[in-house]
C-alpha cells in the first residue's frame, strides 16, 4: 500500500485538471464578453482587479497571449466548475449561505462563554444544524448535497491511495454517512462487501439501497449497526486515543489523507 501525502493529492488533482483543460487560455476581454455584464472600460478594470486577486489566490494562472495577459484555470478553480466529477460547488455554496456564514460572526461570543457547550451555529439559530435541517427540507437538501460533494472528493483520494485498508472486509457501516456517497463508492469497488449507510431519518429518506448497500436510519448516540469496519468522523487525536483504549483496542495508526482528513486503523 502506498502512503498518501499532500503532494500526491496535489499531483492527482493537477493531473485531473490537465486532462480536462485542453490548455486554452483566455484574454480578459474575451472573459468579459462571455459574462452577462457590460463590456466597457470600467467593468474591464473591475474584472482585471478581481482577476489579480484570484490569480494571487491561485484560482487562475497567467500566461502571455499575443502581447496580452491570458488566464488559465488551476486545479483549485477546476473544483469550482459545476460539471466536474469532483466539483465542490455545492460545498462552497453551503459555506457561503448566510445561515452558515452568520455563526462565524459569533465566534467571539461562543469562545468567551466557555460554560455554554453549544456551537456558534446553535447560538445563531437556536438549535443544532441537524435539527434545523430536519425542519427545513431546502436546508436539508443543501447540506446533504454539500456533504456529498466533499465525500466524493475524499473517497476518490482514499480509494486511489489507501485501498488496502478495506481489503478483506466483509461488511462496513458508514456512521453519519449522509446520502451514502462514500459507502456507494466502497461497495462498487469491493463487490464482496456489504455496506450500510447509517444516518438520521430525514437525511436518508428516499435513498434507495441495493443488494450490497443498505440504509439504516437511527441515532448514533443510541446504537450503531454492527459490521467488520465502522467509519466514524470528527474527533481529534486525543479523543480517538481515549476512545480506542476505553474500547479495549491495543493500538492504532493514523494515515494523513486530504487536508484535515486521515484514515485511522485500530488493532485488537
Ligand atoms: C459532516 S456530515 C458527514 C456526511 C457524510 N460523510 C456524507 O458523505 O455526506 C455528518 C453526518 O452525521 C449525521 N448525524 C449527525 N448526528 C447524528 C446522529 N446522532 N446519528 C446519526 N447520524 C448523525 C448528519 O446527518 C450528517 O449526515
Atom 12, ligand 1: which residue's CA is nearest?
176
Q: How far is the CA of 196 from the centre of ligand 1 (A)?
A: 13
Atom 23, ligand 1: which residue's CA is nearest?
176
Give percent above pLDDT 90 in the chain: 57
Q: How many helices (H) and strands (E) does the chain have?
A: 13, 9
Does any ligand 1 atom lie closer than 6 A to the CB of residue 219?
Answer: yes
More confident residue, 34 or 20: 34
pLDDT of residue 218: 96
Residue 150: pLDDT band with limits 50, 70, 90: very high
Atom 4, ligand 1: which residue's CA is nearest?
178
Among candidates 84, 32, 64, which has minimal Cα distance to 92?
84
Rg (CA), the chain: 22
Atom 9, ligand 1: which residue's CA is nearest?
178
Per-residue model confidence as pLDDT tens digits over 28-54: 888 788 778 888 889 889 889 988 998
Does any ligand 1 atom lie closer than 6 A to the CB of residue 199?
Answer: yes
Does any ligand 1 atom lie closer than 6 A to the CB of residue 147?
Answer: yes
Burial class (CB in 10 A: 0-12, 13-18, 19+), 20: middle
Q: How far is the CA of 232 from the centre of ligand 1 (A)?
A: 10
Q: Of ligand 1's atoms, which has the minimum distance to the CA of residue 177? A: 5
CA pair distance 82, 60, nearest whole angstrom: 17
Residues 6+ apart with CB under 8 A from 115: none
Q: Of ligand 1's atoms, which has the minimum distance to the CA of residue 202? A: 25
Per-residue model confidence as pLDDT tens digits over 192-232: 999 999 999 999 999 999 999 999 999 999 999 999 999 98
pLDDT of residue 17: 43
Does any ligand 1 atom lie closer than 6 A to the CB of residue 231?
Answer: no
CA pair distance 204, 181, nearest whole angstrom: 11
30: three-class secondary structure by DSSP: helix
Place of cell 437538501: 141
Q: How far is the CA of 207 from the centre of ligand 1 (A)?
A: 14
Model confidence at 20: pLDDT above 50: no
Does any ligand 1 atom lie closer than 6 A to the CB of residue 220?
Answer: yes
DSSP assignment of 108-169, as one string?
A: HHHHH-TT----HHHHHHSS-HHHHHHH-HHHHHHHHHHHHHHHHHHHHHHHHHHGGGTTT-
Atom 11, ligand 1: which residue's CA is nearest?
176
Helices 89-96 and 137-162, packing angle to 10 deg? 140
Per-residue model confidence as pLDDT tens digits over 50-81: 889 989 999 889 988 878 888 888 888 888 88
Does any ligand 1 atom lie closer than 6 A to the CB of residue 221?
Answer: yes
Does any ligand 1 atom lie closer than 6 A to the CB of residue 180?
Answer: no
Length of the chain: 268
CA pair distance 36, 126, nearest whole angstrom: 39
Phi, psi angle pair for 257, to nearest 5°: -120, -70
Amino acid at each position: 500500500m502506498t502512503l498518501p501525502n499532500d503532494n500526491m493529492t496535489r499531483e492527482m488533482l493537477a493531473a485531473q485538471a490537465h486532462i480536462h483543460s485542453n490548455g486554452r487560455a483566455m484574454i480578459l476581454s474575451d472573459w468579459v464578453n462571455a459574462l452577462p455584464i457590460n463590456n466597457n472600460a470600467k467593468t474591464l478594470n473591475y474584472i482585471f482587479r478581481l482577476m489579480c486577486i484570484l490569480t494571487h489566490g491561485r484560482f487562475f494562472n497567467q500566461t502571455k497571449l499575443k502581447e496580452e495577459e491570458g488566464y488559465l484555470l488551476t486545479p483549485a478553480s477546476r473544483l469550482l466548475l459545476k460539471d466536474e466529477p469532483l466539483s465542490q460547488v455545492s460545498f462552497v455554496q453551503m459555506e457561503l449561505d448566510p445561515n452558515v456564514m452568520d455563526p462565524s460572526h459569533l465566534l467571539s461570543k461562543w469562545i468567551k462563554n466557555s460554560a455554554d457547550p453549544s456551537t456558534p451555529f446553535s447560538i445563531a439559530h437556536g438549535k443544532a444544524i441537524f435539527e434545523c435541517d430536519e425542519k427545513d427540507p431546502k436546508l436539508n437538501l443543501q447540506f446533504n448535497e454539500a456533504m456529498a460533494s466533499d465525500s466524493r472528493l475524499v473517497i476518490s483520494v482514499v480509494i486511489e491511495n489507501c485501498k488496502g485498508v478495506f481489503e478483506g472486509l466483509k461488511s462496513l457501516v458508514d456512521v453519519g454517512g449522509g446520502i451514502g456517497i462514500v459507502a456507494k463508492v466502497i461497495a462498487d469497488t469491493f463487490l464482496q462487501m456489504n455496506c450500510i449507510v447509517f444516518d438520521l431519518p430525514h437525511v436518508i429518506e428516499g435513498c434507495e439501497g441495493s443488494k450490497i448497500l443498505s440504509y439504516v436510519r437511527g441515532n448514533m448516540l443510541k446504537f450503531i449497526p454492527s459490521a467488520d469496519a465502522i467509519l466514524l468522523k470528527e474527533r481529534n487525536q486525543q479523543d480517538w486515543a481515549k476512545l480506542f483504549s476505553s474500547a479495549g483496542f491495543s493500538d492504532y495508526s493514523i494515515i494523513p489523507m486530504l487536508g484535515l482528513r486521515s484514515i485511522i486503523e485500530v488493532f485488537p
